[in-house]
Amino acid sequence: MTDHTRFAGHGVLVTGAARGIGAAVARRLAEEGGQVLVTDRDLPEAERTAAALRDEGLAAEAAACDVADRASVEAAVERAVAAFGSLDVLVNCAAHCTPDTPRFEDGTDEAWALDLDITLTGVHRCCRAALPHLAACGRGAIVSIGSVNGLQDFGNHAYSAAKAGLGSLSRTLAGHAAARGVRVNLVAPGTVRTSAWQGRDDDLDALRPLYPLGRVGEPEDIAAAVAFLASRDAAWITGTTLVVDGGLTAVNTGFHTAVHHP
């Protein structure tokens, strides 16, 4: 059951929140009482997401934020503080994934740099801008969206390296920020049904048997994990990676299938 007061009075900024996991996170935290700034490079879509929340009586505003641009990030953080009076929660959802070339050596510097700049360095920019405000509020929390790609091989070299880097950044920043009263954690999702999979229902169905819990994830599954880590229910948790993957990385389903059905 959703706690409609868990984030009462909290100012929240979510990046990459126009759609998918980011939009689900924005909705969940708003439903639990948060005042949410929905940010995205796609401002019209961010505005539509925020408007839909307001139509339900929830507190949400929208702002443009390109995590690849320091000035854009700093402006979004200042907008959240000005609108809500404080910034208590930062959720980093923005990411970029360039499809791998068939041969590793044919990948370009530009594609590699783009994935790392948005997926990893973008989180660094957001945390750097937000941290003083999160520390000032006395209950600050940062939750970033990683991936099982950062834990095991699921392809996408640059994206996976960036997501693995987020795990390290979350741990080192947690160590630094703890003395300032800010917790820092990571959620690592498995396959989640978002617009990235639009028109690929057959592929999602093919993946389903690999998941011990029998399905791929939904954005709401990840939003629930984010809400927990951002809340005071996780007051003694920092520097951790919460894997939310239906058992994918814990159970070698392919091995079990091969053994029992040779």
DSSP one-letter code for 15 = S
Q: How does the average pLDDT of the chain come out, rounded?
A: 96
Strands of 126-175 (E only): list them.
141-145
Domain ranges across the chain: 11-260
- Is residue 158 pLDDT above 80, yes or no? yes
Position 249 pLDDT exceeds 60: yes
Query: Would you say residue 83 has pLDDT above 80?
Result: yes
Per-residue confidence band for 262, with pLDDT thresholds at 50, 70 and 90 = low
**So what's the architecture of 11-260 in CATH?**
3-Layer(aba) Sandwich (3.40)
Positive/negative CA dihedral, 186, 189, 193, 196: positive
The whole-number pLDDT of residue 30 equals 98
Helix (H, G, I), strand (E, B) or coil at 146: coil
For the segment 89-97, the average pLDDT, to the nearest whole number, is 98
User: How far is 9 from 120, CA to CA, in rounded Å?
Assistant: 29
Give pLDDT, residue 256: 85
- Look at residue 3 in the predicted model and tell me its pLDDT: 74
The 10s digit of each residue's pLDDT in 50-77 is: 999 999 999 999 999 999 999 999 999 9
In this prediction, residues 106-111 reach a mean pLDDT of 97
Catalytic residue among 7, 84, 159, 211: 159
Distance in angstroms (rounded) separating the CA atoms of residues 48 and 167: 31
261, pLDDT greater than 90: no
This prediction has a pTM of 0.96
Split at pLDDT 50, 70, 90, the class of 257 is confident
Which residues are within 8 A (CB) of 99 and not within 5 positions of it... i.e. 6 or more apart?
156
Helices 122-137 and 157-177 sit at what angle, rounded to 10 degrees? 20
Calpha distance 119→149 (Å, rounded): 12
* 162-203 residue pLDDT tens: 999 999 999 999 999 999 999 999 999 999 999 889 889 999
Sheet holding 89-92, edge to edge: 60-64, 35-40, 11-14, 89-92, 141-145, 183-189, 241-244
- Annotated catalytic, 159? yes
Band (1; pLDDT cuts 50, 70, 90): low
- pLDDT > 90? residue 155: yes
